[in-house]
Amino acid sequence: MNDAIVQTYQPGQLLQRGVSRHLASHGFACVEELVPARGLRVDVMALGPKGEVWVVECKSSRADFTSDSKWQNYLEWADRFFFAVDEEFPTELLPDDQGLIIADGYQAEILRMGPQAKLAPARRKVVVQKFAATAARRLQLMRDPDMHPEWD
């Protein structure tokens, strides 16, 4: 992507892009804006090379973080949870007991690993199925944008 295209993204989308690029370089497959359950939408869900599931919540500003009352609900959908912010974000606002990623539209760096909380097998099955179905549907829509899907 060129800089003109990147400039059309919203700040949170740029963070998603940098996070997804970084995780992909470590063998993760990423899906952005994934809905694991009604009323929840994670910014980035990543499926790792060993089957691990990471959720990354991108926060583009202080207001974005302080107005979010749902992020704790994402913890039960991941083996590890991270916040991703840009280098200007006041990281002292973020909980110390969760992962931290610094990102921009091109790259990211994990500064702190989130604690590992292994998903129960039944929950993992649901998460992986939602991940796969979401990714496949999006690919199908890219190949056939005139399709009118009945899902979600």
Per-residue pLDDT tens for 94-139?
Answer: 999 999 999 999 999 999 998 999 999 999 999 999 999 999 999 9
Q: What gap in Å lies between CA 110 and CA 15, rounded to an integer?
A: 13
| HSE-up (13 A, CA, CB side) for residue 19 | 34
Q: What gap in Å lies between CA 105 and CA 11, rounded to an integer?
A: 8
* Per-domain boundaries in the chain: 3-143
- pLDDT single digits (tens) 39-96: 999 999 999 999 999 999 999 999 999 998 889 999 999 999 999 999 999 999 999 9
- pLDDT single digits (tens) 130-149: 999 999 999 998 888 887 76
